[in-house]
Structure 1
Amino acid sequence: MHTIQTPHHNRHFWLLAALWLLASLLATPAAHANRIKEVAAVEGVRSNALTGFGLVVGLDGTGDQTTQMPYTSQGITNYLKQLGITLPAASIASLQLKNVAAVLVTAQLPAFARPGQAIDVNVSSMGNSKSLKGGMLIATPLKGADGEVYAMAQGNLIVAGAGASGGGSKVQINHLSAGRIPNGAQVERVVLTPLLEGDSINLGLEASDFQTARRVAQAINKRFGEGSAKALDGRTIKVNAPTESDARVSFIAEMEELPLESSVPSAKVVINSRTGSIVLNGSVTLGSCAIAHGNLSVSITTTPMVSQPNAMSGGTTTVTEKSNIQIRQEPGMLIQLPPSNQLSEVVRALNALGATPQDLLAILQAIKAAGALNAELEVI
């Protein structure tokens, strides 16, 4: 038996669907706001760079040519001496260690690292080794800026590449002279972090901005009470914090999660003069202006000319070159750009010029000099 749905049932169905859609919209979380931890960090809590000289062994004939890289043979000689093996001076100069490569080992020692903790290391060839694939790094001390050893690295390299050569031809995928060892070093020494010193901590903003510094201080004072935070300048905020370790950690954890009011970034145009890349943020606006930009091209062609003397003249045949230089300048039409208050309008106006990225480098600088570009120009 089939049930016939009446218009009343249809209205009831659509009413339920509308209520379900409304409930789904209300349950959707609001747009994610910036948190303090995303714009600032506690001063003094940072990582430290480590570096060391090491040797990679076990290569398949792709190591350094020791006759051209004397530090490779010197390194292996010093290593063998530590193991109780002393080589004669005459044999050191004739070492042919095709399976050994001298490398530099680098790592980042994270904040609060403790002895025994494993960290990742990067290994890079410093000689003329063809490939580090399949090699193993022998025990290498990693030192900090003060010359002290903070970690020891050792392990098998992971090289994300492949290559082959023969008959003067060579094929290579990715980079073969650098690799990585996950958890390849163990921390040996603690770097003290001044987190618990004094009755206050300083927050350092990632970018200097007075508005952001003021809003960070306001958010902290609103949550923990007036006078808890004070902006010292456009980058540093001083925050009163508990002196007991557990209480201070809980305080910092809660403070970093405080939301911040979103602010409009300052208008900026970043220009990479080497690659011709141009990046504009959403605050860039354009005033009314007129632009004329023409291209200038210089062509130089060389034609060989052969001078052949007569058979009985005794002269010699000479070859000379005749150069033809042409200069061509294309006319530049005057194009009027309307005022643009949104990024999409600015992009549309610049695309209307039909200029290449290299031409836009000069055009944007000229527009800025004329006062029609409402943004800061930064050349990197």
Structure 2
Amino acid sequence: MRFLLLLLAVALAAPPAGAQPTGTQPAGQPTAAPPAPAAASARLKDLVVLEGAAPVQLVGYGLIVGLDRTGDRARGRSSAPYTVQSIANMLRRFGTTVDPLRLGARNAAAVMVTATLDPFSGPGGRLDVTVSAIGDATSLSGGTLIQTPLLDPLTNLPRVVAQGAVSTGTLLASAAGSSARTGPTNTGRVPGGGLVVEAVSPTLDGTTAGLILRTPDFTNAARVAEAVNARFPAAAEAVHAGLVRVAVPEGGVVALMASLESLQIAVDVPARVVVNERTGTIVAGGDVRISEAMITYGSLVISTQVDPVVSQPGPFSDGQTVAAAVGGVAIDEAQARSVLLPPNADVGELAAALDALGMTARDVIAVFQALSRAGALQGELVIL
């Protein structure tokens, strides 16, 4: 009934046939097209990376010491013998030999150390490293990472050595067997703890340089090539959606990139809706469109309840007291509400319609999934 009333209201609001709509041009005169929405723009340096100069991911195995009895609880042949063995190996390097079976690890933890090395960082440069516990440590707060070499997985050569105080940015408190914490405490960072000892040698020689788009897109690749050709005529060619090839001028790659990095590119953003079901977060691009669709929302609540009942025997009888239970079921179904989306509706109109229905974030996620399955969502639905 509400759906019919909504259609009737739309029909009554429509102007009669032949009537001149308010604010329009008289017949026979051209009407001005509505202004197109301004496209988002970005610098070229934020859209591309230079081919042959990719960052290098590094990894290493290390020890964190100085913990307040929150490290690996292994002793001898327990669940984390590698921690005790690592402590024994470290002491052996300093001329102290100790039987691993006599060592404890409550104040130490074995960790994996990771970092990303910029291809243009030279020896002596600093970078942040991340440490993650691999044993049964409960917290890395207050610990210090012992000097750890970080290896290039392709060459197996150490490029960075890491050492320093660990920062977790979390709080852990316990009392009388109860504990509470804010955020993960078995992962942390060592700000500026990585020291570059061997730099990466990017391959930038040649007559051409490749610009690799961070997000491949044919339209953006063509626009990048067009912007580069406006600065250096006939120098750029869009090879495919993720690569633009540019001829290197006499000044070399450095002069080329310095001249191109500040170019403003009109970015074409794909129509995409990203949903994180774990946190209930929804991000929709402005180019997402929804075909004509009707959304009906209602709620059904089923509640059960068990009431204890005690049956008492009569006085001076041979009966016994019996405990029983009486169950009850209640069904509460709220009245369904509906909205009708106009053809080619945008995310703003959809958000207003869903807000009018009083939906939660979980309900909105279900609506987007249903719209995608119905073929009414003109865009890509990405579920994390």
Name the structure 1 match of 2:134. 126
TM-score, normalisation: structure 1 = 0.78
Cα distance change of structure 1 residues 32 and 365 upon mapping to structure 2, 3 Å threshold:
closer
Tell me, in whole angstroms, the C-alpha distance in 2 between the residues paired with 1:107 and 1:190.
14
Give the counterpart of 2:174 among 162, 165, 168.
165
- Show CA shifts across 1:7-42 (max 9, x none): xxxxxxxxxxxxxxxxxxxxxxxx994221122221
Q: Does 1:237 align with 2:237?
A: no
| AA aligned opposite 1:361 | I
Cα distance change of structure 1 residues 134 and 328 upon mapping to structure 2, 3 Å threshold:
closer
Give the counterpart of 2:279 among 270, 275, 278.
275
Name the structure 1 match of 2:110. 102
Cα distance change of structure 1 residues 66 and 199 upon mapping to structure 2, 3 Å threshold:
same
Q: Does 1:136 align with 2:144?
A: yes
Cα distance change of structure 1 residues 331 and 240 upon mapping to structure 2, 3 Å threshold:
same
Q: Does 1:216 align with 2:227?
A: no
Name the structure 2 match of 1:329. 333
Tell me, in whole angstroms, the C-alpha distance in 1 between the residues paired with 2:352 and 2:157.
57
| AA aligned opposite 1:213 | A
Cα distance change of structure 1 residues 136 and 268 upon mapping to structure 2, 3 Å threshold:
closer
Q: Does 1:204 align with 2:215?
A: no
Give the counterpart of 1:156 among 165, 169, 192.
165
Name the structure 1 match of 2:189. 180
Give the counterpart of 2:43 among 35, 42, 63.
35
Tell me, in whole angstroms, the C-alpha distance in 1 between the residues paired with 2:376 and 2:312.
64
Name the structure 1 match of 2:3. none
> Alignment identity in percent?
38
Give the counterpart of 1:378 among 354, 364, 382.
382
Q: Does 1:291 align with 2:295?
A: yes
Give the counterpart of 1:338 among 313, 336, 342.
342
Tell me, in whole angstroms, the C-alpha distance in 2 between the residues paired with 1:273 and 1:41.
32
The alpha carbon displacement at 1:148 in A equals: 2.4
Q: Which runs of 5+ in 1 are unaligned?
A: 1-30
| AA aligned opposite 2:144 | M
Tell me, in whole angstroms, the C-alpha distance in 2 between the residues paired with 1:127 and 1:32.
47
Name the structure 2 match of 1:253. 258
Give the counterpart of 1:74 among 82, 85, 108.
85
| AA aligned opposite 2:239 | L
Whether contact under 8 Å (2:291, 2:344) holds in the other structure is: yes
Whether contact under 8 Å (2:288, 2:347) holds in the other structure is: yes
Tell me, in whole angstroms, the C-alpha distance in 1 between the residues paired with 2:325 and 2:341.
48
Give the SS at the match of 1:51: strand
Give the SS at the match of 1:34: strand
- Show CA shifts across 1:72-91 (max 9, x none): 11110111222232224xxx
The alpha carbon displacement at 1:212 in A equals: 0.8
Tell me, in whole angstroms, the C-alpha distance in 2 between the residues paired with 1:134 and 1:378.
39
Whether contact under 8 Å (1:264, 1:283) holds in the other structure is: no
Whether contact under 8 Å (2:41, 2:267) holds in the other structure is: no
Tell me, in whole angstroms, the C-alpha distance in 1 between the residues paired with 2:86 and 2:350.
59
The alpha carbon displacement at 1:336 in A equals: 2.6
| AA aligned opposite 2:354 | L
Give the SS at the match of 1:232: strand
| AA aligned opposite 2:74 | T
Give the SS at the match of 2:240: coil
The alpha carbon displacement at 1:250 in A equals: 0.6
Tell me, in whole angstroms, the C-alpha distance in 2 between the residues paired with 1:63 and 1:288.
59
Tell me, in whole angstroms, the C-alpha distance in 2 between the residues paired with 1:220 and 1:255.
7
Tell me, in whole angstroms, the C-alpha distance in 2 between the residues paired with 1:349 and 1:363.
11
Cα distance change of structure 1 residues 376 and 179 upon mapping to structure 2, 3 Å threshold:
closer
| AA aligned opposite 1:329 | E
- Show CA shifts across 1:101-121 (max 9, x none): 222222111112323322222
Tell me, in whole angstroms, the C-alpha distance in 1 between the residues paired with 2:120 and 2:57.
14
| AA aligned opposite 1:84 | G
TM-score, normalisation: structure 2 = 0.77
The alpha carbon displacement at 1:280 in A equals: 1.9
Whether contact under 8 Å (2:217, 2:242) holds in the other structure is: yes
Tell me, in whole angstroms, the C-alpha distance in 2 between the residues paired with 1:129 and 1:174.
15
The alpha carbon displacement at 1:222 in A equals: 1.9
Q: Which runs of 5+ in 2 are unaligned?
A: 1-38
**Alignment coverage as a number of residue pairs:** 341
Tell me, in whole angstroms, the C-alpha distance in 2 between the residues paired with 1:318 and 1:54.
65
Tell me, in whole angstroms, the C-alpha distance in 2 between the residues paired with 1:98 and 1:365.
48
Give the SS at the match of 1:150: strand
Tell me, in whole angstroms, the C-alpha distance in 2 between the residues paired with 1:58 and 1:190.
31
After superposition, residues 299-310 of structure 1 pair within 5 angstroms as: 299-305=303-309
| AA aligned opposite 1:268 | R
Cα distance change of structure 1 residues 269 and 97 upon mapping to structure 2, 3 Å threshold:
closer
